[in-house]
């Protein structure tokens, strides 16, 4: 009899613990959604558009980006194209972007007194087609909106926090979705749009499928974040002048970074630019002084952009590569390309006097962590698997929008009048402490997320204290 009583007494306790856990998870799912969903909608819309950046830019800016391809017609030399660009927009040419296909124009980036401008030139006719502010295309605007870059460094930290909270949102959502003897709302939707259960089921079913992509996009978007991304970049690439640990640098390096002169991959954002050695610094060693003048003084004539581009072609850079032009005697010709195929990613720095490669590295030279992160980033941007990649992630973005919309409608239909409708606190406080311990682990991995969790926890405790004083 005592055994029976013990078992019967344990059952309500177990049910109470289960209910408390459900309430705790539901409460934090609500908080995560309250914070994350506005960001997720913005990221989903801008992200879906950016997946088709090349296609949309070529349509929107067709008048300057596209030309009529002429079969077997000779193309103007790079120096002639740069001269045409400078005639249209006076200044100093700093970048030469080769056409990605026969119907693409050449983009020349020019430093002017009013800032940088991108000038587009027809490679067949040498005609300047027009210009835009550097990175002034519609898709660059979408990209900056996606990353909140327009709103400063601190605003971009919100992206890192939102990514962490979105993972929390998915984890708690899976627990709430998990079947508990019910059949509806697991893989099917009940009711009609007038009923709250319809929006609850739409939210749950959409969330279980979209959640996979939310976690993937959050994790692969983290490398761009201000705090976590920067630290992981340093860890992945070590202190070897910002290059992956597998690349040995045995030449003089400048303090200028590759990301400062040209768009680059995440792994090479901190990579430093080497120094051209084939010119006279005005300093000679004792050994130099014993040599004939012709041998001791190195040549001071640059190979020029025509030879540099020819050299990059000879070395096999894929079409569409960018050449950062040297602007100082120590500068180099830096050729870089980041096509959809990761295996074709490559960066080559040429000595501007000898034309010899100082650094020649590709995706194969990245370390294991760098390769994994670059693969994730390439897939995140819809590039790795072509059109399939773009379509799948577009559907995921639409799912995120449906998820946010259904969650908002469901909350609106459930919330009490004059209240925010925060789910009730769990009765068993031990469950809450266990959940906080789990959240703390995530906070250690992602510091900004951890700080935001702490702030939210303090606000939640403050709100509970006020409710107790009011007798709620």
User: Same domain for 168 and 256?
Assistant: no
Domain end residue (candidates: 337, 366, 395): 366
The yes-or-no verdict on residue 362 having pLDDT over 80 is yes
Burial (CB count within 10 angstroms: exposed 0-12, middle 13-18, buried 19+), residue 416: exposed
**3 vs 48, higher pLDDT:** 48
In a domain, 373, yes or no: no
In a domain, 329, yes or no: yes
User: Same domain for 267 and 356?
Assistant: yes
Domain end residue (candidates: 85, 108, 136): 136
What is the number of residues in the chain?
472
Rounded Cα distance between 262 and 311, Å, is: 19
In a domain, 450, yes or no: yes
DSSP string computed for 113-140: TTEEEEEEE-TTT--EEEEEETT-SHHH
**pLDDT in the model for residue 186:** 81
Asked if 324 and 334 count as a contact pair (C-beta separation under 8 A), the reply is yes
**459 vs 198, higher pLDDT:** 198
**256 vs 6, higher pLDDT:** 256
User: Same domain for 32 and 67?
Assistant: no
**pLDDT in the model for residue 46:** 96
In a domain, 68, yes or no: yes
User: Same domain for 125 and 154?
Assistant: no
User: Same domain for 77 and 112?
Assistant: yes
User: Same domain for 343 and 407?
Assistant: no
User: Same domain for 361 and 290?
Assistant: yes
Asked if 230 and 196 count as a contact pair (C-beta separation under 8 A), the reply is no
User: Same domain for 95 and 191?
Assistant: no
Confidence label for 275 from pLDDT (cuts 50, 70 and 90): very high
Confidence label for 267 from pLDDT (cuts 50, 70 and 90): confident
CA pseudo-torsion sign 53, 55, 57, 60: negative
Percent of the chain having pLDDT more than 70?
84
Asked if 410 and 203 count as a contact pair (C-beta separation under 8 A), the reply is yes
**pLDDT in the model for residue 227:** 76
Give the CATH number for residue 108: 3.10.450.40
Summarize the confidence of residues 80-106 as an average pLDDT: 97
Asked if 267 and 341 count as a contact pair (C-beta separation under 8 A), the reply is no
**464 vs 202, higher pLDDT:** 202
Confidence label for 161 from pLDDT (cuts 50, 70 and 90): confident
**Distance (Å) of CA 173 to CA 14, 27, 214, 298:** 22, 11, 12, 67
- The reported pTM is 0.84
User: Same domain for 197 and 130?
Assistant: no
Confidence label for 284 from pLDDT (cuts 50, 70 and 90): very low
User: Same domain for 106 and 80?
Assistant: yes
The yes-or-no verdict on residue 11 having pLDDT over 70 is no
Summarize the confidence of residues 361-389 as an average pLDDT: 91
Helices (H), 348-385: 368-380
**408 vs 110, higher pLDDT:** 110
Percent of the chain having pLDDT more than 90?
47
In a domain, 18, yes or no: no
Domain end residue (candidates: 136, 162, 187): 136
Phi, psi at 361, each rounded to 5°? -135, 155
User: Same domain for 290 and 348?
Assistant: yes
- Tokens encoding 25: 């998870």
**pLDDT in the model for residue 94:** 97
Domain extent for 396: 23-52+146-224+386-470
Question: Which of 53-57, 127-131, 246-250, 467-471 is predicted with the least confidence, judged by mean pLDDT?
Answer: 467-471
The yes-or-no verdict on residue 291 having pLDDT over 60 is no
Confidence label for 114 from pLDDT (cuts 50, 70 and 90): very high
- Tokens encoding 437: 């311990």
Summarize the confidence of residues 183-191 as an average pLDDT: 82
Domain count, the chain: 3
In a domain, 10, yes or no: no
Rounded Cα distance between 30 and 32, Å, is: 5
What is the residue-averaged pLDDT of the chain? 84
In a domain, 214, yes or no: yes
Rounded Cα distance between 41 and 37, Å, is: 6
User: Same domain for 347 and 460?
Assistant: no
In a domain, 15, yes or no: no
pLDDT, tens digit, 9 for 90 and up, residues 314-333: 999 999 999 999 999 999 99
Rounded Cα distance between 145 and 107, Å, is: 23
**pLDDT in the model for residue 353:** 96
Confidence label for 297 from pLDDT (cuts 50, 70 and 90): very low
Summarize the confidence of residues 67-83 as an average pLDDT: 93
């Amino acid at each position: 009899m005592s055994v029976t009583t013990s078992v019967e007494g344990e059952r309500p306790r177990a049910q109470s613990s289960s209910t408390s856990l459900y309430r705790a998870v539901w409460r934090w799912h609500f908080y995560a959604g309250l914070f994350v969903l506005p960001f997720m909608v913005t990221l989903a819309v801008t992200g879906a558009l950016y997946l088709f950046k090349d296609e949309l830019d070529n349509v929107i800016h067709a008048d300057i980006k596209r030309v009529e391809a002429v079969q077997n017609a000779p193309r103007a030399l790079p120096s002639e194209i740069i001269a045409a660009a400078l005639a249209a927009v006076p200044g100093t040419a700093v970048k030469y972007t080769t056409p990605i296909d026969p119907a693409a124009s050449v983009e020349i980036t020019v430093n002017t007194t009013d800032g940088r401008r991108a000038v587009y030139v027809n490679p067949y006719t040498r005609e300047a087609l027009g210009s835009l502010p550097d990175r002034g295309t519609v898709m660059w605007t979408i990209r900056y909106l996606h990353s909140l870059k327009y709103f400063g460094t601190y605003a971009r930290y919100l992206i890192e926090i939102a990514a962490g909270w979105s993972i929390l949102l998915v984890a708690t959502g899976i627990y709430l979705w998990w079947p508990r003897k019910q059949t509806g709302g697991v893989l099917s939707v009940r009711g009609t749009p007038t009923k709250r259960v319809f929006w609850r089921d739409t939210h749950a079913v959409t969330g279980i499928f979209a959640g996979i992509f939310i976690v993937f996009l959050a994790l692969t978007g983290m490398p761009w974040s201000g705090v976590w991304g920067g630290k992981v970049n340093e860890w992945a690439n070590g202190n070897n002048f910002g290059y992956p640990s597998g690349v040995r640098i045995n030449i003089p390096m400048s303090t200028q970074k590759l990301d400062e002169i040209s768009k680059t991959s995440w792994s090479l954002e901190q990579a430093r630019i080497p120094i051209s050695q084939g010119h006279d610094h005005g300093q000679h060693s004792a050994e130099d002084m014993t040599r004939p003048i012709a041998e001791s003084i190195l040549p001071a004539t640059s190979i020029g952009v025509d030879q540099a581009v020819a050299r990059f072609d000879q070395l096999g850079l894929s079409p569409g590569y960018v050449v950062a032009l040297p602007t100082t005697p120590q500068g180099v010709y830096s050729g870089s390309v980041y096509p959809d195929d990761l295996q074709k990613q490559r960066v080559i720095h040429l000595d501007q006097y000898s034309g010899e490669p100082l650094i020649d590295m590709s995706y194969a030279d990245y370390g294991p962590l760098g390769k994994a992160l670059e693969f994730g980033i390439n897939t995140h941007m819809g590039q790795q698997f072509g059109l399939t990649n773009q379509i799948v992630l577009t559907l995921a973005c639409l799912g995120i929008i449906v998820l946010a919309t259904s969650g908002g409608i469901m909350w609106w239909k459930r919330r009490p009048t004059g209240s925010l409708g925060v789910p009730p606190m769990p009765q068993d406080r031990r469950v809450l402490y266990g959940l906080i311990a789990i959240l703390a682990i995530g906070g250690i991995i992602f510091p900004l997320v951890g700080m935001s969790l702490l702030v939210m926890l303090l606000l939640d405790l403050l709100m509970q204290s006020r409710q107790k004083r009011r007798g709620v």
